[in-house]
Structure 1
Amino acid sequence: MKLTYESTLILHNIEVRQDQKNYIVEDATTGEFYEMPLICIDAITLIQKGFDLREVEEKLQKQYPEEDVDMVDFAQQLLDLELVQAVDGEEIVCKKEKEKLGFSWISPKVGRFFFNRKTMLLYTILFVVNIVLFIVHPSLLPNYKDLFVFDVMTFNILVWASVTFFLVFIHEMGHVLAIRAHDFPTKVEFGHRLFLVVLETDMSPVWKLSAKERNILYLAGMSFDTVILFIALIMQLLFQIHSQVLSGILAIIVFDTTLRMVYQCCIYMKTDLYYVFENMTACYNLMENGKRYIKGLFVPKFRVSNGELFNGEEKVVRFYGLFYVIGVTVTITLAVLFYIPQSVYMMRQTIPNLQKPISNLYFWDAALIMLQTVVMVSLLLYSWRKKYRNE
């Protein structure tokens, strides 16, 4: 599609909302959201009034004499974003389709029951109480051996996987209920963090809300994590549990929930706290610009130019670089304190069992563990190879 200064555009049905620094543009046709500065909003307004690109550019140059206005280039960007319905009367086929979201069967009243001013205060108090309980009773802190409830390692993995899936599901239901509190639809699907498979809730409707309201939705999963952790800690403290299995499951709940909450601090991945940080700073491409900033410290061609940032974002991007390093440090620390010792302990317990008779349960337990290890390492190496080959 050839654009000229005489071109006129018809845009999709667009809704514009003022945000903290700039404006959020919602394409009602595709359900996509974009952040734009005021000059872009003024350009869109003039385009919608029927002015051709030359007239729009002339008006903007008078209104913004210090800005370098190029309406042909801006119009091309609108085309690339598929915000344009027609150019010079010629209809543009939109390839994007508005995604169908669900969970509408959950009443907004249910969402508001779990997420309102009083409950958010309660979640905050419980979060502090959990920290106090760990300080006063250090024996409650997670230990890498908490996952080993049974002598048979395969049973341990099955129990751990089942408990983890249930806890992650509860976490995501926190996000779902917080979104439904505003009567927005959503969905839950599988995603990944590094090489870890995770569940993810579609949070795109948050852009219809104010920044303060968005933070509640981002923290909703951790709010439910806080309640689960509090219940597990109190049960360990106040009840004498004689069942080894129940005691072990409680320990796994504390272990898994605590480490997942610590992982939220690893904002070099797009964790819930990353979105809170991004939302509070109003820098909505923080990860991408942060990565370029860090790479640019060593490789000049990756340096972030001021043209890639909105005004005032330079300091935030540098500050994010510090948190990026802290997040990587937290990940390495967790691996050293928990995941590596777990793997070593599991191998020490299972490898000798390969010498047992083939009819022995522990032989097959060891064989399954070794097979699982080979598969997981192979998938990890494959994902790394694929990632770096495409970069």
Structure 2
Amino acid sequence: MKLSLQSQLILYPLTIRQDKKHYIVEESLSGEFFEMPKVCIDAIQLINQGESLAVIEQHLIQTYPDDDINLVEFAEQLLALGLIKEVDGEAIRVIKKSQSPKGFMWIPSWVGQLLFNKITSKLFVAVICINILLAIIHPGLLPEYQDIFLFDSMMLNVLMYMAITLVLIVIHEFGHILAVRSYNLPAKLEIGNRLLFIVFETDLSPAWKLKPQQRNRLYTAGMCFDQMMLFIAFVITLSFPEGHALLIGISGIVTLDIVIKIIYQCCFYMKTDLYYLVENITGCYNLMENGRQYLCKWLPFIKKDSTTETFVGEVKVVRMYGVFYICGVLLTLSMFAIYFIPQALYAYSQVLPELLHPVGNPYFWDAVVFLGQTLLIGGLLVYSWMKNRGREKISW
């Protein structure tokens, strides 16, 4: 399909919402969202009025004399995004598949509003402050890598840790889901990975239908639920005597898991909830991609993303993000050094000698089951990696 300045276009139905700096454009059929500056919105509106690209280009050159206006190039971008329905009366064949989530509509919106409103927002902030204060007053509440080893059986330790982690993940993600439902929007739960971590992810793309300030609730909801669970774990640890070893041990695992998640949220080289919150507050919606493009000048091993563009006024934010990007990498290395590597070394130092026991010995089978569990976790991780790579190939 050849485009020229004499071309006239018909676009698919688009919903345009003004955002902090620019505009969010929603393609109604696919449910995809795009960020565009004002000049692009003016061009789209003139296209919808039936003007040719030549007329639109001349109008925009007069309106935006400092901008480099090229309507043919812009039309080619619209074509690549699948937003053009017809060119000069000739239909464009595009397979439209809805990307919008449609799940959890069975949860009434009032349930979400009951848990997320102006009063509960203040309550969550208070809980965060109390947790920080308790950690300062009682430093013994802070977790150590040995906290996951409750039993002599490594198999039971792994099962206990996996069960508690799974429950906490579900609670975290239902925070997001309930926050989405508080605005009567649908949600979707998926499985993915962050480095070596298998994670559940709530599709928060419907957030683009909301105002920027309203989106903050969706991004922080999971962390708010985490803080509530951490508060409960702190209270249990402080309230029960040492005689309740199992209960205190479970609270210790909860504390360890949530503290690791808090550290993980600060790893800005991944798209965590906290990353999306910062992105939403600053209004720089391609912060990671632009940050990588900025950092690759000095760090060639960072993958460059040339498909994104840094808008005017975002350079300072992108540079600051670059600093946090590097700090996040260092934070991850520290997390491995303090928690994960010592845990793995201790676990395997205890398990591998048990393989020398006779087959009938229970410790032998404990070691076998433990190694099987690690293989299962590794298999799930490889599956999530392959799934994500498949998505990347499809997107290209």
Q: Name the TM tier (shorter chain).
A: over 0.9
| SS of alignment partner, residue 24 of structure 2 | strand
Per-residue CA distance 1:205-260 (angstroms, 9 max, x = gap): 11111211111110000000011110111011112363433332221111111211
Deviation of 1:358 (Å): 1.2
Q: Which runs of 5+ in 2 are unaligned?
A: none
The answer as to 2:252 corresponding to 1:214 is no
Q: Which runs of 5+ in 1 are unaligned?
A: none
The answer (yes or no) to whether the contact 2:289–2:305 under 8 Å persists in 1 is no
| SS of alignment partner, residue 270 of structure 2 | coil
The answer (yes or no) to whether the contact 2:150–2:249 under 8 Å persists in 1 is yes
**RMSD between aligned residues:** 2.4
The answer (yes or no) to whether the contact 2:197–2:381 under 8 Å persists in 1 is no
Residue 250 of structure 1 is matched in structure 2 by 251
Structure 1 residues 248, 301: CA separation in 2 closer, same or farther (over 3 Å shift)?
A: closer
The answer (yes or no) to whether the contact 2:158–2:370 under 8 Å persists in 1 is no
| SS of alignment partner, residue 26 of structure 1 | strand
Residue 56 of structure 1 is matched in structure 2 by 56
Structure 1 residues 261, 130: CA separation in 2 closer, same or farther (over 3 Å shift)?
A: same
C-alpha distance in structure 1 between counterparts of 2:305 and 2:264, whole Å: 27
Count of matched residue positions in the alignment of Structure 1 and Structure 2 = 387
Matches within 5 A, 1:28-47: 28-47=28-47
C-alpha distance in structure 1 between counterparts of 2:174 and 2:381, whole Å: 29
Deviation of 1:107 (Å): 1.1
Deviation of 1:93 (Å): 2.7
| SS of alignment partner, residue 10 of structure 1 | strand
The answer as to 2:326 corresponding to 1:319 is no
Residue 205 of structure 2 is matched in structure 1 by 204
C-alpha distance in structure 1 between counterparts of 2:133 and 2:327, whole Å: 24
| Residue identity opposite 2:137 in structure 1 | V
The answer as to 2:274 corresponding to 1:273 is yes
| Residue identity opposite 2:123 in structure 1 | L
* Percent identity for Structure 1 against Structure 2: 47
Per-residue CA distance 1:339-384 (angstroms, 9 max, x = gap): 1110111112112212211111111222333455567678879969
Residue 362 of structure 1 is matched in structure 2 by 363
TM (norm. structure 2) is 0.92
Residue 9 of structure 2 is matched in structure 1 by 9
C-alpha distance in structure 2 between counterparts of 1:363 and 1:144, whole Å: 24
Per-residue CA distance 1:141-161 (angstroms, 9 max, x = gap): 111111011111111111111
TM (norm. structure 1) is 0.93
C-alpha distance in structure 2 between counterparts of 1:380 and 1:213, whole Å: 33
Residue 292 of structure 2 is matched in structure 1 by 291
| SS of alignment partner, residue 358 of structure 1 | coil
Matches within 5 A, 1:346-357: 346-357=347-358
Matches within 5 A, 1:122-141: 122-141=123-142
Structure 1 residues 87, 113: CA separation in 2 closer, same or farther (over 3 Å shift)?
A: same
| SS of alignment partner, residue 296 of structure 2 | helix
C-alpha distance in structure 1 between counterparts of 2:73 and 2:301, whole Å: 26
The answer (yes or no) to whether the contact 2:193–2:381 under 8 Å persists in 1 is no
Per-residue CA distance 1:74-107 (angstroms, 9 max, x = gap): 1111111111121112222332311341111111
| Residue identity opposite 1:65 in structure 2 | P
C-alpha distance in structure 1 between counterparts of 2:302 and 2:2, whole Å: 31
C-alpha distance in structure 1 between counterparts of 2:158 and 2:351, whole Å: 13
| Residue identity opposite 1:177 in structure 2 | L
Deviation of 1:304 (Å): 8.6
Deviation of 1:66 (Å): 1.7
C-alpha distance in structure 2 between counterparts of 1:94 and 1:182, whole Å: 31
Residue 94 of structure 1 is matched in structure 2 by 94
Residue 234 of structure 1 is matched in structure 2 by 235
